[in-house]
Chains A and B, each alone.
Chain A
Amino acid sequence: MASESPRLEVRNLSKTFAGVTVLEKASLALAPGEVHGLVGPNGSGKSTLIKLISGVYSADPDGEILLDGERIGPPIKARALHGQGLSFVHQDLGLVPDLSVRDNVRVGRHAVNPATRWIRTAQDAAAVSETLNYLRTDIDPSAKVSTLLPSERVAVAVARALQDRTPGAGVVVFDESSRAIPHEALPAFYDMIRLLTSEGTAVLFVSHDLKEVLEVADRATVLRNGRVVETGIATAGLDEAKLTSLVLGRAAELGDIMTSLPPTPRLEKVELVDVTGGRVEGVSATVHRGEVVGFTGTVDSGLSDVGPVLGGDRRGAGQVKLGGRVVDLARATVVDLLDAGIAFIPADRHDKGIALELSVEENATLPHLRSRGKPWWTGLRWQRAETEGIIARFDIRPPNPRMPVAAMSGGNQQKVLLGKWLLGTPDLLVLDDPTQAVDVGARHAILTASRRAAADGSAVIVCSAEVDDLAAICDRVLILQDGRTVRELTRPFDADAILAAIFAVDDATTPAGEAR
C-alpha cells in the first residue's frame, strides 16, 4: 500500500562542493497528510537540501530520494518531478504580475492543439478553475495577477504546484514562501496548507520563522552545520525556546537583552510633533536619548507609515525637534533629515535598504561619504576600518568587506543595513520592521544592536508588529489606531500584554455599528 510508505523520504543525502561537505547524510521522512517543518540557521544546509530534492544540484551518489516508496534519484530529473508528484512553491512565488492567472498557473503545462500547437485556452481555463475550486477560492482565471490580493496570489502559486494532481496525493515543498506574503495574508496561507494536508498530501515547510513552524507544522527536522540534528520531532511538545536552542545549539533568550542593556534614559529628548502622512494622522511623542520606544498596532493602524514619514521615504507633515533643531517634515529633504541626525532603516531591505550587487563596504559607508570623505577623494582607510568594525561588531559572515551583499544570507544583509546607519551614531534611529525575514540568531543580534544604539546615546523608535521583539527591547510601547497613538504601555510589560493592548484598543474604539 502506498499509504504505508512515506510520501517523501530522503536517505543519507550528502552534497560536496570542491571537497567541502555542505550537507552530510541528511535523512528525513514525510508521512501522508503531515506538515513537516524544515528549520535551521543561515548556512545550515537547508537550501542545499531543497536544491538537491528539486534537482538544481546533483547529490553525491550514495544517497536516496524516494517518493511514495519509489526511488526517484539521485540523479533527479527536474522536468519529471511534477509528474512524479513533487512540486515546489518558492520564496518569491514566481508569478508574472502582467499575465493572467490562467497563464501563470499553466506556464510550461499548457494544453495545446496537437496539430497547430496553439494553446487551448478553454481547456486551460477549465483545469485552472478546477484546481482553484479545490483550494476553495473563486479567483477568475482570466484576471491579471497584478489585480489580485496578496492572499489570492498565494493561492495561484499553490494552484500551479497542485495542478494535474489527484487530490490528496503528492508532496508540496514551500521554500520560505511566507517571506513573499504580507502579515495579513498569512492566516489564509496557513489555512490553505492545512487544506492540502487534510486530504493526504504531504507538505515540507521550509522557514526561518520558528514561531510559524510551531504553528503550522506537525513535526519538524532541524539542520545545523550541514547535519540533521533532530528529525521528525513532534512540534506539539516544543515551544519556541526549545526549538531555538535546537536550531542554534544554545539558548538565545530575547529576555536577556533588557538585562544586559538596562535602561539609560538621559535628559535630552527628541520630540515628534503632530507627525502626519500616509495613514498617520497627527502622532506626537517624546523619545529620550537612551530610550527605545516601540510603535505598534494592527495592519491598518498606520504603523507601516510611521517609519517612512520620519525617514523621508514618504511625504508627510509635522515636526521633529532634536537638540534645539526643528525639522519640518513637510519641507525637509532626505539630506535635511540626515543632517539633523535622523537615521531610517526601511522595512523593504532589498528595494530600499541596500544595493545588492555592491559590496558590504560600499553599502555600509555610503551615507557617511559626505561627512567623512572629501569631494575629490572618498578616503580608503576609514572606509575599510569602519567596515571591519561593523563586521566584527555584528558578527557578519563571511567577514569579507568586498563581498557583494547579494551573496549573503538575509540576516547578514540586515546586519549590514543596520551597521550602515549605526556607523554615524544617529541622534534619532528609526527602525521599520527590523526583524522581517531573518533567522533567530540574526534576530537576536539585530535587537541587541538596536538596544545598544540607545545605550550609546541615540533615541530609538522601533515600528513593528512583532510583539515579542517589542517586549524584548522597548522601554515604552505606543499603540496606534487609525493613525493616532491611543495608548502607552510602560514597563513592566510582556508580549502578551502588548498584544492584548493592541486588540483591547481595537475592540474598545470600534463600536459595532461603525463601518470598517
Chain B
Amino acid sequence: MTTTRSQPTLDTNAARVARRRTGIPFARATAYVLQRYSLVLLWAVMVVLFLLLLPNGVDLANASRAVLGQQTPVVFLGLAVIVTIAVGEFDLSFAFVYGLAGTAFPALVVLDGWPVPLALLAALAAALLVGLINAVLVVIVGISSIVVTLGTGSVALGIALFLSNQSNVSGLDPALAQVALGRFLGLPAVFWYGVVLVIITAYVMSATPLGRSMLFVGSNPNVARLAGIPVRRVRFGAYLVAALLSGAIGIILACGVGGFSTATAQVQLMPALAAVFLGTIAVVPGRLNAIGMLIAAYFLLSGVFGLQLLGLSGWVTNVFYGAALIVAITVSLLLRRRARA
C-alpha cells in the first residue's frame, strides 16, 4: 500500500520492484485475499466436497449447529498455547492441566464430598500450581520449556488419575450443566465463552502495550529488556494464564457433562496445536493470532465431523489433524514465496 509513494530519487532495486508490483493491482489483491483467507477458502472447498460426497445430502444449518455446539476444549487450549508461544515459550502441559482440573473438580465433589465452590477453587489452584512450577523452573531456573512442561504434564495427569481412582468420574449436580450448556442464539455457552476470550486475546495482543510487549519478548527478549519491558514477568505471567485457561475449560466441561473422563484429556494435545499453527496462516499470515486459531479450530472440527458423517472415525481423526496442519502450512508458505518473487 504505502510502497506506492516512491520518490523519483529512489532508485534502489527494492523501490523498483515495489513500483513494478503496484502496476498489477488485481493480481496483488488476489494474492492478498488468498494469503489472508486461504483457510476460509479451504473450509468452503471442504464443505462443498462433503456435500457432494454424502449420499443423502445434509442440512447445512443443522450441521453447522452441531459443529459449533460441540463441547470442546480446543479453543481455550489453543489460546493457552498462543499465549505461551507468543512470548517464546513452549508449554506442552496444557492438555494435562486441562485433565487435572477437569478431573479434580468432579472427583472432589462426587468422591470426596467437598462443597462445589471449594472444589472449584481447589481445581483452579491445582491448575495454577502446575503453571507456577512450569514458570519457576523455566523462567527462574532456566530449564528448557519442552522438557519441564512434558514432565509437569505427566505428573499432573498422574495426579488426576489418582484423584479419579483411574476411572471416569460422574454424578455432578445436573443443575451445574447450565454453565456449559446454557444456550444463547441456539449455541451453547461454551462456544460463546470461547468467542469472547478469543476477542479479548486478539484485542490484548494487537492493540495494547501488553500485547506489544509479549510480541517483543517472544521475538527478541534483549530488545524487550532494553526497552524497559519486564521480560521475566511477561514470561512468568504467560505460564500462569495458560494454566488458568486450561484449568477453567476443564472445569466448565466437567460441569456440562456432569463428570470427566481423565484418559481422554491428552487427546486434546494435537487438535489444539494444529489449530494454533493452522491459525497462523489466516488473518495475519505468519503470526500467531487468536482469531485465526478460532477459525482453524472450527475448520478442523467440521472436517472431523464431516468424516464422521461419511462413516469414518477413530484413526481418521489423527490423520486428518496431522495432514491438515502440514497441507495448510505448505500452501501458505508457497503463496508467500510467490508473492515475494
Neighbouring A residues of B211 by C-beta, 8 Å: 378
Fill in one digit per residue for A342-355: 1 if any B CB lies within 8 Å of its CB, else 0: 00101000011111
The contact of B227 among A19, A44, A367, by CB within 8 Å, is A367
User: At the interface, yes or no: A87 with Cβ under 8 Å from chain B?
Assistant: no
1/0 per residue B229-248: CB within 8 Å of A?
01000000000000000000
A40 to chain B, nearest CB (A): 11
CA distance A255 to B207 in the complex (A): 45
Pairwise interchain contact B13-A20, C-beta atoms closer than 8 A: yes
Is A297 among interface residues, defined by CB-CB distance under 8 A? no
The answer to the question of B222 belonging to the interface, with a C-beta cut-off of 8 Å to chain A, is: yes
Contacts A20-B17, A375-B210, A378-B207: A42 and B12 contacting too (C-beta < 8 A)? yes
Q: What is the 8 Å Cβ interface bit string for chain B, positions 192-222, against chain A (1 contact, 0 not)?
A: 0000000000000001111111011001101
- Known contacts A373-B209, A377-B207, A402-B2: does B219 contact A358 (CB below 8 Å)? yes
Which among B3-11, B267-275, B296-304 touches the partner chain? B3-11
Q: Is there a chain A Cβ closer than 8 Å to B51's Cβ?
A: no
Q: Report Cα–Cα, A226/B14, bound state, in Å.
A: 11
Contact of B223 among A17, A45, A311, A352 (CB under 8 A): A352
Q: Is the CB of A355 within 8 A of B228?
A: no
Asked if A334 contacts B228 (CB within 8 A), the reply is yes
Interface residues of A in 369-408 (CB under 8 A from B): 369-370, 373, 375-378, 397-402
B17 and A17 contacting across the interface, CB-CB below 8 Å? yes
Are B17 and A378 in contact, CB atoms less than 8 angstroms apart?
no
By beta carbon, the residue of chain A nearest B20 is: A20
Kindly state the separation between the CA atoms of A44 and B228 in the bound complex, as whole angstroms: 37
A378 partner, pick from B5, B12, B14, B212, beta carbons under 8 A: B212
Q: Does A91 contact B (CB under 8 A)?
A: no
A72 at the interface (CB under 8 A from B): no
> CB-CB < 8 A to A226: which residues of B?
13
User: Complex: how many Å from CA A335 to CA B228?
Assistant: 5
Expressed in whole angstroms, the minimum distance between the Cβ of A357 and any Cβ of chain B is 6
Q: Is A356 an interface residue (CB 8 A)?
A: yes
**Does A22 sit within 8 A of B, measured CB to CB?**
yes
Is residue A496 contacting chain B, with contact meaning CB distance below 8 A?
no
A48 contacts B by Cβ under 8 Å = yes
Q: Give the shortest distance, in Å, between B259 (CB) and chain A (any CB).
A: 39
* Chain A residues numbered 444-484 whose CB sits less than 8 Å from any CB in chain B: none
Is B209 within 8 A of A370, CB to CB?
yes
Residues of chain B within 8 A of A311, CB atoms compared = 226
Contact B219 A357 (CB under 8 A): yes
Q: Known contacts A18-B341, A399-B2; is A45 also within 8 Å of B13 by CB?
A: yes
The DSSP consensus for interface residues of chain B is helix
Given contacts A352-B222, A355-B219, A355-B223, are A20 and B16 in contact (CB under 8 A)? Answer: yes
Q: Are B13 and A43 in contact (CB under 8 A)?
A: yes
Contact partner of B225 (CB less than 8 A), chosen from A42, A334, A358, is A334
Taking CB atoms, residues of chain B closer than 8 Å to A366 are 212, 216, 223-224, 227
Complex contacts, B219 vs chain A, CB 8 Å: 355-358
Q: Determine if A225 is an interface residue (Cβ-Cβ < 8 Å).
A: yes
Q: Are A378 and B228 in contact (CB under 8 A)?
A: no
User: What's the least CB distance linking A272 to chain B, in Å?
Assistant: 19
Q: How far is the CA of A397 from the CA of B17 in the complex (A)?
A: 12
Which of B1, B13, B208, B341 is in CB contact (< 8 Å) with A376? Answer: B208
In the complex, chain B residues whose CB is within 8 Å of the CB of A344: 226
Q: Is the interface of A mostly helix, strand, loop or mixed?
A: loop
Query: Are B15 and A397 interface neighbours, CB within 8 A?
Result: yes
A354 & B223 in contact (Cβ 8 Å cutoff): yes
Q: How far is the CB of B286 from chain A (nearest CB, A)?
A: 8
Question: Which single member of A334, A376, A378, A401 contacts B226 (CB below 8 Å)?
Answer: A334
Query: Are B13's CB and A375's CB within 8 A?
Result: no
Contact at A362–B212, with CB atoms within 8 Å? yes
- Name the CB-closest residue of A to B12: A43
For the complex formed, measure the closest distance between the CB of A11 and the CB atoms of chain B, giving whole angstroms. 21
Q: How far is the CA of A313 from the CA of B215 in the complex (A)?
A: 20
Q: A243 to chain B: which residues have CB within 8 Å?
A: none
Question: Cβ of B6: which chain A residues have Cβ within 8 Å of it?
Answer: 398-399
Question: In whole angstroms, how far apart are the Cα atoms of A369 and B228 in the complex?
Answer: 11
Interface: A338 (CB within 8 A): yes
Q: How far is the CB of B35 from chain A (nearest CB, A)?
A: 14
Of the candidates A19, A42, A369, the one having the most CB atoms from chain B within 10 angstroms of its own CB is A369
Distance between B48 CB and nearest chain A CB, rounded to angstroms: 33
Nearest-neighbor residue (CB-CB) of B231 within chain A: A334
> Is A312 at the interface (CB under 8 A from chain B)?
yes
B17 touches A352 (CB 8 A): no
Min Cβ gap B26→A in Å is 15
Which residues of chain B from 10 to 42 have a CB within 8 Å of any chain A CB?
Answer: 10-18, 20-21
Closest CB of chain A to B338's CB: distance in Å?
Answer: 10
| A18:B17 contact, CB within 8 angstroms | yes
Complex alpha-carbon distance, A353 and B225, angstroms: 10
Interface residues of A in 269-314 (CB under 8 A from B): 311-313
Q: Per-residue CB proximity of A159-194 to B under 8 Å, as 1/0?
A: 000000000000000000000000000000000000
Q: Which of A17, A225, A334 is the one whose CB lies under 8 Å from B341?
A: A17
Q: Which residues of A are found within 8 Å of B226, using beta-carbon distances?
A: 311-313, 334, 344, 346, 352
- Among residues of B, the one whose C-beta sits closest to the C-beta of A15 is B13
Are A398 and B220 also in contact (CB < 8 A) when A311-B226, A369-B212, A375-B210 are?
no
Give Cα A125 to B20, complex, Å.
Answer: 52
Whether the pair B208, A378 counts as a contact (CB closer than 8 A) is: yes
Q: Kindly provide the distance from the CB of B205 to the nearest chain A CB, expressed in whole angstroms.
A: 11
Q: Which of A184-212 contact B (CB under 8 A)?
A: none
CA distance A400 to B21 in the complex (A): 14
List B contacts of A356 (CB < 8 A).
219-220
A225 & B11 in contact (Cβ 8 Å cutoff): yes
Interface residues of A in 394-453 (CB under 8 A from B): 397-402
**Bound form: Cα–Cα A386–B227 in Å:** 17
By a CB distance below 8 angstroms, the chain A residues around B1 are: 402
A348 CB to nearest chain B CB (Å) = 8
Tell me the nearest residue of chain B to A348, going by C-beta.
B222
B212–A398 touching, CB < 8 Å: no
Best-buried of A48, A373, A378 by chain B (most CB within 10 Å)? A378
User: Is B209 a contact of A369 with CB atoms below 8 Å?
Assistant: yes
* Complex Cα gap A286–B157 (Å): 62
Residues of B within 8 A of A45 (CB): 13
With A18-B17, A22-B16 in contact, do A354 and B220 touch (Cβ < 8 Å)?
yes
- How far does the Cβ of B117 sit from chain A's closest Cβ, in whole Å? 31
A354 to B219, CA, bound (A): 9
Q: Which residues of A contact B225 (CB under 8 A)?
A: 334
Residues of B within 8 A of A398 (CB): 3, 6, 10, 12, 14-15, 18
Most buried by A among B2, B21, B209, B224: B209
Given the complex of chains A and B, what is the CA–CA distance between A43 and B11 in angstroms?
9
10 contacts between A and B (CB under 8 A): A20-B13, A20-B20, A43-B15, A366-B212, A375-B210, A377-B207, A378-B207, A397-B12, A398-B12, A398-B15
**What residues of chain B have their CB less than 8 Å away from a CB belonging to chain A?**
1-3, 5-6, 10-18, 20-21, 207-213, 215-216, 219-220, 222-228, 230, 341
Other A-B contacts than A17-B341, A375-B208, A398-B6, 10 sampled, CB-CB below 8 A, are: A18-B20, A43-B12, A44-B12, A344-B226, A346-B226, A355-B215, A355-B216, A369-B209, A397-B14, A398-B12
